Amino acid sequence: MDARRERAAKNEMFFRSINERIEELGEQWLSGPEGERAYDFVCECQNMECTTAVALTIVEYEHVRTNGRRFIVAPSPEHVDAKIENVVDISSRYWVVEKTDESGNLADAADPRG
């Protein structure tokens, strides 16, 4: 895998680790039924400077996290690298992308839930 793709995958995995913590805190401290209330997660695109909030419920986030190759991104093409990922789910609040190359293998292998 080339260095650019590896760095992009590591950036996305970093944001995913932040979102894992947000989910944990949401479940522990924030009120409301987990399937109904949306929380602000962090866009998991490859851009380390991106700070876009992405609203998902815990149930929606859990659904995305069932696959280590999938990441949530803000709903805009600028958050997708079509060379290495496909948009596999579209909502008005977020998109789900899935890695299609060796960076997907890296993301899947590094998935803390895997």
Per-residue pLDDT, 113: 79
The position carrying tokens 């293998």 is 105
Q: From CA 106, how far away is CA 48, in angstroms rounded?
A: 18
Which sequence spans correspond to the domains of the chain? Answer: 3-109
Residue 89, pLDDT score: 97
Residues 34-89: pLDDT tens digits?
Answer: 557 788 999 999 898 998 999 998 889 999 999 999 999 999 999 999 988 999 99
| Greatest extent of the chain over all pairs of C-alpha atoms, in Å | 44
One-letter amino acid for residue 94 of the chain: Y
Give this prediction's pTM. 0.76
Rounded Cα gap, residues 69 and 9, in angstroms: 10
C-alpha 96/C-alpha 83 separation (Å) is 15
| In contact, 100 and 5? CB cutoff 8 Å | no
